[in-house]
Amino acid sequence: MIRVFHFNIMSDYLQIEFKDITSEQSELLIACLTEIGFEGYEETEKGLKAFIKQADLDKEVLLQTIASLQLNFSEEIIPETNWNQVWESNFEPVIVNDFVAVRAGFHQPVKNVQYEIIITPKMSFGTGHHATTYMMIENMKKIDFTNKTVLDFGTGTGVLAILAEKLKAQKILAIDNDKWSIENAKENIEKNNCERIELSLAENAKSEDQYDIILANINRNVILDNLSLLAAGQLLNGGILFLSGLLAEDESAMVLACSEFGLTVKNKATRHNWLFLNLSKSV
Q: Mind listing the pLDDT tens digit for each residue in 55-76?
A: 888 999 999 989 888 899 999 9
Q: Would you place residue 283 in the very low, low, confident or very high pLDDT band (cuts 50, 70, 90)?
A: low
Query: Pairing mode, if any, of strands 149-153 and 211-217?
Result: parallel
pLDDT tens, residue by residue, 179-203: 878 988 999 999 999 999 999 999 8
Residue 197 sits in the same domain as residue 261: yes
Residue 154 sits in the same domain as residue 269: yes
State which residues form the domain around 47: 2-87
Q: What is the pLDDT of residue 42?
A: 78
- The set of residues, in sequence order, having a beta carbon less than 8 Å from that of 21 and lying 6+ positions away, is 29, 47, 48, 71
Q: Would you place residue 3 in the very low, low, confident or very high pLDDT band (cuts 50, 70, 90)?
A: very low
Residue 15 sits in the same domain as residue 75: yes
pLDDT tens, residue by residue, 66-119: 988 889 999 998 776 655 566 566 678 889 999 999 998 888 999 999 999 998
Which CATH number is 203's domain given? Answer: 3.40.50.150
Mean pLDDT of the chain: 87
Average pLDDT over residues 133-162: 96
Residue 47 sits in the same domain as residue 173: no
Average pLDDT over residues 148-177: 96
Query: Quick check: is 66 in a domain?
Result: yes
What are the start-end ranges of the E strands in 158-225? 171-176, 197-201, 211-217
pLDDT tens, residue by residue, 197-243: 999 999 898 888 999 999 999 888 889 999 999 998 899 999 999 99
Query: Quick check: is 171 in a domain?
Result: yes
**Pairwise CA distance, residues 20 & 206, whole Å:** 43
Closest CA to 186 of 103, 94, 124: 124
Q: What is the pLDDT of residue 219?
A: 83
Residue 122 to residues 85, 110, 203, 216: CA-CA distances in angstroms? 9, 20, 22, 21
Residue 187 sits in the same domain as residue 273: yes
Q: What is the pLDDT of residue 110?
A: 94
Query: Quick check: is 23 in a domain?
Result: yes
**Pairwise CA distance, residues 46 & 60, whole Å:** 25
Closest CA to 159 of 101, 214, 232: 101
Residue 141 sits in the same domain as residue 276: yes
Query: Quick check: is 78 in a domain?
Result: yes
Number of domains in the chain: 2
Residue 20 sits in the same domain as residue 154: no
Query: Quick check: is 101 in a domain?
Result: no
Query: Pairing mode, if any, of strands 263-271 and 274-281?
Result: antiparallel
